[in-house]
Structure 1
């Protein structure tokens, strides 16, 4: 197995789907990677699909209906297999053809879109699974290399000015508007790109979580190139 991620305490590499879903997060480790070198032509699949909006969900039936070459079919089988594995596990995977995500430009001092480093939160015990098959891939960052934006004094001051209510409700205001989920990377931080074809499981902030949630962000898309992303 490649050691591209193996010298990082945040990441543990696994070699099967069973290991991916059954390995417990612990200590600094809040990202699991089923490291794979997938065969097939994923670019062909992207070229044959039709994008209707900035984000188009692709169903298994959409994939099956495509007329593909042998290499395109190999890529399709990999995607269908991942969708089936996650569905059988009890997850609800979504395959998205992405032009771009919506940007948050409401405030000039804090961003709450997915291009900003952030963590996911859930009221129930769950994890985030994702795999980029084509296009730019997401980044994660060590929790020790980023700071919650609401704790940065100048940002916190502006958020207090924005808050129209009693001071004891300020923390609820931050949560309700998702400000507390976003992080600012340190100047010397070294984000880790998740690469293509690997299936990742990232820790989510929920009541039973024993580790810090994994800080991640969506990438800026490459000019003229769509992303094909599995996520749940």
Structure 2
């Protein structure tokens, strides 16, 4: 097991799927990891899938149609089982073949794309699940190692200049435009890379949540390499 997972107060490590979905978040723990050393050739699956857009959703039918070696078939069965487990638990998992996400280049002083450290928000109780099977993996970061971007004075000043409404509506403007979801690492912050093959559950900002939401980001993709990512 990667020692950074077991030594972090942010991460709880579990041994199976049902423990992953049923273990409550508490205190500073807002990320749970089902740590796995997966067998199988996930690269073979990626090499046979067709990228139709920068992000292409892969269906179970797409996976089942692939002609794979024994090692490729092992990898496929793992993915199919993960999809079934999540679906049976009430989640809506999506398997994505990913070249890159769209970059936010609208403002030069604040980014609001998924490459920026951010939290997920939902009006109802839910969690974010993700697993990178192949390619670069996402990062999480402890909440006490980041600053909310809207509270950084120079950024907040520029956001006020961007906001043309009454001062009483400024906070709603920040929320409506999702600026409040994004964070900047402090000097000497120590992100945790989620690695490949592990299934993660991350805390989301919602009305019933009793811990801080998990701050995370998408990675810069490796040159010439697609990612294969399960997310819901």
Instruction: Give TM-score scaled by structure 2 length.
Output: 0.99
Q: Which runs of 5+ in 2 are unaligned?
A: none
Q: How many residues align?
A: 232
**1:14-163 equivalence runs, <5 A:** 14-163=14-163
1:205: which partner in 2? Answer: 205
SS in 1 for 2:96: strand
Work out whether 1:171 is the aligned partner of 2:171. yes
**1:170-189 equivalence runs, <5 A:** 170-189=170-189
Matches of 1:2 and 1:184 in 2, distance apart?
25
2:220: which partner in 1? Answer: 220
CA displacement at 1:4 relative to structure 2: 4.0
Measured against aligned partners, the alpha-carbon deviations of 1:178-225 in whole angstroms (never above 9, x if no partner) come to 000000001110110000000000000000000000000000000000
SS in 1 for 2:73: helix
SS in 2 for 1:132: strand
SS in 1 for 2:68: coil
Matches of 1:173 and 1:2 in 2, distance apart?
41
Matches of 2:68 and 2:42 in 1, distance apart?
10
SS in 1 for 2:80: helix
The answer to whether the Cα contact below 8 Å between 2:131 and 2:229 also exists between their aligned partners in 1 is yes
Deviating above 4 A after TM superposition, structure 1's stretches of 4 or more consecutive aligned residues are none
Measured against aligned partners, the alpha-carbon deviations of 1:166-188 in whole angstroms (never above 9, x if no partner) come to 00000110011100000000111
1:194: which partner in 2? Answer: 194
Q: Which runs of 5+ in 1 are unaligned?
A: none
The answer to whether the Cα contact below 8 Å between 2:42 and 2:72 also exists between their aligned partners in 1 is yes
CA displacement at 1:2 relative to structure 2: 5.1
CA displacement at 1:3 relative to structure 2: 3.6
CA displacement at 1:6 relative to structure 2: 0.4
Matches of 2:143 and 2:4 in 1, distance apart?
19
Measured against aligned partners, the alpha-carbon deviations of 1:64-102 in whole angstroms (never above 9, x if no partner) come to 000000000000000000000000000000000000000
Matches of 2:146 and 2:28 in 1, distance apart?
14
SS in 2 for 1:5: helix
Matches of 1:3 and 1:15 in 2, distance apart?
15
